[in-house]
Structure 1
């Protein structure tokens, strides 16, 4: 058997082994965090259908001081569907067809991947389908992007002992963060970036501090402002970190690690100073330990877009597991 025949045989064996039992080795998805590949012909993209897609999936992210799109959209004509676009984690395929249809295919071309197929008899039909299903599409994409960021973080994690011993939790914090301050019921970690930084706070308070009488949002804001007064200050006197009063924060009731939690998003500032930026605050009602576990992320990056910085902080916080 000559070398060419041997090489061909080895290739066939490799192909057979990959496909044996109907299984193939999936390609890995690529692309920046929070991006979508929209496969749609130019005629639809440049009309009302394209406007609807942009309005839904590139709408401003809530809680940021400047407008930034929810997702970065990259549009490609349908004829370019074959190729590198199929390696994107999130793909929306839009086209006219003989019937109105919406379908989600998981890992169709690569993994992990969401492919959303939208077809309609008319442009108006397509817009109706987008209007109906956009919340589901956004939820699935956001979850996929959180998981992708968590996968990246896991490549190099801080030793969890300090956080675990102090708060009885597992939290996946990448090694790009350093400890700034540690107190009995408080930890501050910070990551330095070009022209700024991002911070992660972990602390706990009694359940009665939040779920007592009065407004939940007001109670959460009072607590975070008191934490800023105790531990987070500017370089000048009387420059504590506080919640910006000019804009009401966004507030949601959610579940985290199977427990009731409150999500608050807004803008922080340093009192009597010019520094400011966005924050996300998660207050988890942990009845087993008779406490509210609070995990907060905030960033200071005056010359940089902040969407992906806050997304990384959210991904870290949502990795939390309370030890029973």
Structure 2
């Protein structure tokens, strides 16, 4: 009788641990952690200090284009496999090297925590691993960067803004934190800013007539001309309007620094084709400047272009994380 009761209890426990479709519930995962743009590299010390480590650093710590000073794409922390346990497994982005196996690359999601991306590189030799790193460099960096953008969007969503006039006037929505304050608003133009440790961070949203930009060899010139005209109209320097000793009036406004060639490419934003432009801005007749990222989105349905740009003034500090936040805001755009 006791055996029957025990068997019945075991069966009840088994079935209670399954959902209505007879499937076992997903395992409980703790929240992931880690600073923005920080990757844990699981690798033996001797390999980290050798050619494999060099190959990893060449890919993940290459300088970010479009910043005034060289800053690495990611900050790396190397962890030997024998101590990779407990809280150190909860980092949001992990690159794991496994020697003694067939050459292979795996992209795993939420393996130790959530949200989490784990890239596992396997190989029987150093050459196997180095080859996989070089062949998959773009994919690895894209996965880690998209993970960080999603994390920053998740963090900002905890305190969302309430500027409904963006949707009312431009027919689009963007997700950003309520810490951003509106600096200027026109019928089809919005400029937001927030104070940061040593300066301020900005982004602007606007739309343009469909014939304002044409796809040809001079597209980037057209985009730079537009952003410079907006800078002259809206973003004045501290000295603008002051009078020189000779009686002439000072004109100071934001322009694109012509000594630094902007990056220009094409991408997809909100499932729409877009031009991406990154470079350095400066103020005429002043000593302020910084990085900017501009996306000009083709909105074919509404016969227009939507411009979204983020830029930072943050002297003497790293700008990488500030620029990632602005990119996260821009990439949250949803056009009606």
TM-score by length of 1: 0.92
Give 1:177 shift. 0.2
Contact 2:153 2:176 in 1 (8 A): no
Contact 1:106 1:114 in 2 (8 A): yes
Tell me, yes or no, if structure 1 residue 92 matches structure 2 residue 105: no
Give 1:160 shift. 3.4
Bigger CA drift: 212-221 or 255-264?
Answer: 212-221
Cα distance between partner residues in 2 of 1:18 and 1:61: 47
Structure 2 unaligned segments of length 5 or more: list them. Answer: 1-12, 241-250
Deviations 1:126-174 (A, max 9, x none): 1001111121111111111111111001001111311111110011121
Give 1:17 shift. 5.9
Give 1:80 shift. 1.1
Residue 315 of structure 1 corresponds to 328
Q: How does 1:89-238 map to 2 (within 5 A)?
A: 89-211=92-214, 215-237=218-240, 238=251
Report the 3-state secondary structure (helix = DSSP H, G, I; strand = E; otherwise coil) of the residue aligned with 1:219: helix
Contact 1:18 1:25 in 2 (8 A): no
Give 1:21 shift. 2.2
Q: Please, which of 264, 269, 276 is the counterpart of residue 263 of structure 1?
A: 276
Report the 3-state secondary structure (helix = DSSP H, G, I; strand = E; otherwise coil) of the residue aligned with 1:302: coil
Query: RMSD between aligned alpha carbons?
Result: 1.6
Residue 306 of structure 1 corresponds to 319
Report the 3-state secondary structure (helix = DSSP H, G, I; strand = E; otherwise coil) of the residue aligned with 1:175: coil
Cα distance between partner residues in 2 of 1:18 and 1:44: 43
Cα distance between partner residues in 2 of 1:314 and 1:42: 35
Cα distance between partner residues in 1 of 2:89 and 2:168: 44
Contact 1:41 1:95 in 2 (8 A): no
Cα distance between partner residues in 2 of 1:58 and 1:89: 17
Cα distance between partner residues in 1 of 2:299 and 2:155: 28
Cα distance between partner residues in 1 of 2:217 and 2:144: 36
Residue 51 of structure 2 corresponds to 48
Report the 3-state secondary structure (helix = DSSP H, G, I; strand = E; otherwise coil) of the residue aligned with 1:288: coil
Give 1:212 shift. 6.2
Report the 3-state secondary structure (helix = DSSP H, G, I; strand = E; otherwise coil) of the residue aligned with 1:182: strand
Report the 3-state secondary structure (helix = DSSP H, G, I; strand = E; otherwise coil) of the residue aligned with 1:138: helix
Contact 1:160 1:170 in 2 (8 A): no
Q: Please, which of 291, 295, 301 is the counterpart of residue 278 of structure 1?
A: 291
Give 1:51 shift. 0.4
Tell me, yes or no, if structure 1 residue 288 matches structure 2 residue 301: yes
Report the 3-state secondary structure (helix = DSSP H, G, I; strand = E; otherwise coil) of the residue aligned with 2:231: helix
Give 1:95 shift. 3.0
Contact 2:17 2:25 in 1 (8 A): no
Contact 2:252 2:286 in 1 (8 A): yes
Q: How does 1:6-21 map to 2 (within 5 A)?
A: 21=24
Cα distance between partner residues in 2 of 1:213 and 1:207: 14
Bigger CA drift: 210-219 or 81-90?
Answer: 210-219
Cα distance between partner residues in 2 of 1:17 and 1:277: 56
Bigger CA drift: 114-123 or 240-249?
Answer: 114-123
Report the 3-state secondary structure (helix = DSSP H, G, I; strand = E; otherwise coil) of the residue aligned with 2:301: helix
TM-score by length of 2: 0.89
Report the 3-state secondary structure (helix = DSSP H, G, I; strand = E; otherwise coil) of the residue aligned with 1:224: helix
Report the 3-state secondary structure (helix = DSSP H, G, I; strand = E; otherwise coil) of the residue aligned with 2:152: helix
Contact 1:189 1:199 in 2 (8 A): yes
Cα distance between partner residues in 1 of 2:101 and 2:188: 61
Residue 6 of structure 1 corresponds to none
